[in-house]
Amino acid sequence: MSADCEHCQPEPYDPHRVPAPSYRRTLWIALLINASMFGVEMAAGLSSGSVSLLADAIDFFGDASNYAVTLAVLSLGLAWRARAALLKAVSMLLFAAVVLAKSLWAIGHAAPPEALTMGLVGALALAANVGVAALLYAFRAGDANMRGVWLCTRNDAIGNVAVMLAALGVFGTGTAWPDLCVAVVMSGLAIASGWSVMRQARRELAWNAAG
């Protein structure tokens, strides 16, 4: 019985292990999806006047860039992958700062956005992110680079649901406040995830230096 249970245990995390080739294919798919959705949401955000859609578009752009960086260092050693993860964490924190600044500026200037456009594009973005998250789920417990990719995708799906809820709020209240509140919440998610990835990347750099 104990032997059977022993085989049921997950494989111990090895920070020096290079990700499987299937991970590279998954990243290419995720990169293409995120780059496409960046263009769609940027156009929709500008035409509808939605800050939360623009925030989500910037997030798609950041994710596409992160996937590209991850692909570039995927076959390199732990130290380079950890440095790429640090770059990813900084980009997540910068994204949060941009969204917060835009939201604060819009408090006194924003007109209610187009709720229908927000809802439809939010639903499309959610479908895209759920698909990417399903592909990346098996790789969520890897090094800081892989964890950063997973967290970005998870946050995107949460943000898409929030955008759809904001669209309902804008439709019901006729104000921009639901849109602005969602943008602030999305920046909070980016801050929390960015710090998490940064902490793990610094630990991996320390492991590499010690090993």
Structural domains of the chain in order of their starting residue, each with its CATH number: 20-210 (1.20.1510)
Encoded tokens for 96: 């949060």
CA–CA dist 14, 11 (Å, integer): 9
Question: What count of residues does the chain have?
Answer: 211
Q: What is the rounded radius of gyration, in angstroms, for the C-alpha atoms of the chain?
A: 19
CA–CA dist 84, 11 (Å, integer): 24
The 10 Å CB-count burial string (b at 16+, else e) for 26-36 is bbeebbebbbe
CA–CA dist 97, 193 (Å, integer): 14
Which of 199, 198, 193, 161 is CA-nearest to residue 96? Answer: 193
167-203 pLDDT per residue, tens? 999 989 888 888 888 888 877 777 777 787 788 778 8
E strands present in the chain: none
63-88 pLDDT per residue, tens? 787 788 778 777 667 677 777 778 77
Q: Are 88 and 69 in contact (CB under 8 A)?
A: yes
- The verdict on pTM exceeding 0.85 is no
